[in-house]
Amino acid sequence: MIDVAEFPAPLRTGLAALADDMATHGTRRDDPTRAVMALLGDRWTALILQVLAIGEWRHADLRRAASRLSSEQAISQRVLTMKLRTLEREGFVARKVTADIPPRVSYRLTPLGEELAGQARGLIDWVNQRSETIQAERAAFDSTPV
């Protein structure tokens, strides 16, 4: 618990509640709250989740789809593999390997991953609905002298 006494009185109650919540759910980098939020904020994970929400994908097809949907450069095989492994570790993605020769590997969302993808979609929709307002706020900020 942090000492809230040094902060202005109107902020103390809210700050104490936030500190309690963080203490309960974790403040370390690897705690789920911080780790999952960091995942969603990276360059590729939200897009990967949205593509996987469509259905089960083989690695090469997933890479191609994510690369074509992104306005940035194509996702590398290494980066996609790392992101998928992280999502698998967190319980959001299931990896399936067939006994075929050569083996076929595919990825799909788990029920937990479907929930996360839905929450991420909600946040994306919220941003999209406020895009004009956000652009206007940016322009106003950028035109203000420092």
Q: In the predicted model, is pLDDT for residue 19 greater than 80?
A: yes
Q: In the predicted model, is pLDDT for residue 106 greater than 70?
A: yes
Three-state SS string over the chain comes to CCCCCCCCHHHHHHHHHHHHHHHHHCCCCCCHHHHHHHHHCCCCHHHHHHHHCCCCEEHHHHHHHHHHHCCCCCCCHHHHHHHHHHHHHHCCEEEEECCCCCCCEEEEECHHHHHHHHHHHHHHHHHHHCHHHHHHHHHHHHHCCC
| More confident position, 82 or 3 | 82
Q: What is the pTM of this model?
A: 0.86
Q: Each residue of 25-46: pLDDT tens digit?
A: 878 888 888 889 998 989 999 9
Region 83-89 average pLDDT: 97
What crossing angle do the helices spanning 32-40 and 111-129 adopt, rounded to 10°? 50
Q: Does domain 44-131 have CATH number 3.30.70.20?
A: no
Region 2-17 average pLDDT: 90
Q: Each residue of 41-84: pLDDT tens digit?
A: 899 999 999 999 999 999 999 999 999 999 888 999 999 999 99
Which structure tokens are listed for 59? 């690695």
Predicted local distance difference test score (pLDDT) of residue 124: 94
